[in-house]
Amino acid sequence: MNNTVKKVNPADTMDENFQLFSDLTHMEHEQIVFCSKPEVGLKAIIAIHNTTLGPALGGTRMWNYSTEKEAIRDVLRLSRGMTYKAAISGLNLGGGKAVIIGDSQKDKSESLFRAFGRYVDGLGGRYITAEDVGITERDMEWIFAETKFVTGLPKEMGGSGNPSPVTAYGVYMGMKAAAHRAYGSDSLSGKKIAIQGAGSVASHLAGYISKEGAELYITDIFKEKANKVAKLTGANVVAPDDIYTLNMDIFSPCALGGVVNDDTIGYLKCDIIAGGANNILDDEGKHGDMLIEKGILYAPDYVINAGGIMNVASELEGYNEKLSMEKASRIYDTILKVFDYSEQHNITTIAASNRIAEERIKAIAEVGNIYSSKSHFSKRKGEIYLRDRS
């Protein structure tokens, strides 16, 4: 018997159809960083999409992805969305995102997050991290132990704490703007609203909505979470798959992205989609067009859920909760601006928000070409100056 163990070349196990650099070029990313520290169980990916407006800011998500390809696809989509979110919100920030591959219920440790913090710190401020799905304030404290490039810290440490209340308030205001456009009034009283997900953003959103007297429905893959929100708000709990088939006025996805897709879009019976999840449309172009055909008004996700980035971004200048909430309230006007642009140019609402964001990025990029006397002269022979664009 031959007991020789055959060594496997990792390259032989790669999907030959997976073209990473093609994806980076197509989605116009600047940089992607793979972070590996097996001793502490760290497998993470940091994606920096665009830094024209400023350093890339975006949360870190911990999720038990089924494949590494799925994790890469997610971080690329999420980081791109952060660029557009910051741009359309008027923030001087770029877009980035990070994912940690693992089960947030059992794979966390101080050493894992501190190792991740070291990788963030190594980017020298090109990427600033924050809290996202599967991450808590305690996790952010561990990251902060290794890098200053972190937001979403507890309030007792000078941070903004959990951004979910402000995110939810922005979604609520955007939902009211969409109701105003669809119904002629922004009142949600009597409207049948279905929330997908019962996490922190969804629970706060349900609280805002219930106070207006809406007929509220909620679901979550963890039924106990949905039951908890229902107990607090009077919502009706439905099974996860049943959320798509409800006769509802407003559908509000507040869990993971890609829920409006080829399999679900045919079941939707609503007037408006307005939710806190990222990348709600599985395919922006295709499913954006299909929503128009079905007569469904879509409030672009990265516009309506921008309250979170507004909240954590305020930490960079000294956190002010009242100001953060006031900024989130402006999402109402931004959503109406997107709807107007969509009608004027006869394009989908997601295409309209993309264009508005791209126009701002392009305009500021032109300003950045002006030399502004920020160079540092070097004494080393052959180097006249090193340009500092910070």
How do residues 192-222 score in pLDDT, each as one tens digit? 999 999 999 999 999 999 999 999 999 999 9
- The structure tokens 């599967």 sit at 134
- The structure tokens 């999409």 sit at 49
- pTM for this one? 0.83
The dihedral over CA atoms of 187, 314, 281, 344, expressed in degrees to the nearest 10, equals 60
The rounded mean pLDDT for the chain is: 89
| Active-site annotation, residues | 97
How do residues 274-299 score in pLDDT, each as one tens digit? 999 988 999 999 999 999 999 999 99
Q: What is the pLDDT of residue 21?
A: 67
Mean pLDDT of 343-353: 97
Token pair in block for residue 229: 């929100």
How do residues 109-147 score in pLDDT, each as one tens digit? 999 999 999 999 999 999 999 988 899 889 999 999 999
Confidence of residue 18 (pLDDT cuts 50, 70, 90): low
Of 11-15, 72-76, 299-303, 385-389, the poorest mean pLDDT is in 11-15
Mean pLDDT of 87-104: 96
Q: Is there a shared CATH topology between the 26-83+94-150 domain and the 165-360 domain? A: yes
pLDDT at position 378 over 60: no
303 phi, psi to nearest 5 deg: -85, -50
Span between the terminal Cα atoms of the chain, in Å: 64
Given CATH 3.30.1180.20, say whether it is the number of domain 26-83+94-150.
no
Nearest to 276 by CA among 244, 312, 303: 303
Confidence of residue 372 (pLDDT cuts 50, 70, 90): low
Which one has a higher pLDDT value, 169 or 370? 169
Mean pLDDT of 375-390: 50
Say which DSSP state 135 is in.
-
Mean pLDDT of 358-381: 75
Q: What is the pLDDT of residue 370?
A: 79
Token pair in block for residue 72: 């890469």
Confidence of residue 376 (pLDDT cuts 50, 70, 90): low
Mean pLDDT of 45-72: 94
Mean pLDDT of 235-259: 95
Domain coordinates in residue numbering, the chain: 26-83+94-150, 165-360
Architecture of domain 165-360: 3-Layer(aba) Sandwich (3.40)
Q: Kindly write down the DSSP assignment for every residue of 301-344, as one continuous string.
A: HHHHTTHHHHHHHGGGG---HHHHHHHHHTHHHHHHHHHHHHHH
Q: What is the pLDDT of residue 132?
A: 87
Q: What is the pLDDT of residue 67?
A: 93
pLDDT at position 161 over 90: no
pLDDT at position 49 over 60: yes
Q: What is the pLDDT of residue 373?
A: 62
Confidence of residue 375 (pLDDT cuts 50, 70, 90): low
User: Coil, strand, or helix at residue 10?
Assistant: helix
Q: What is the pLDDT of residue 257?
A: 85
Confidence of residue 2 (pLDDT cuts 50, 70, 90): very low
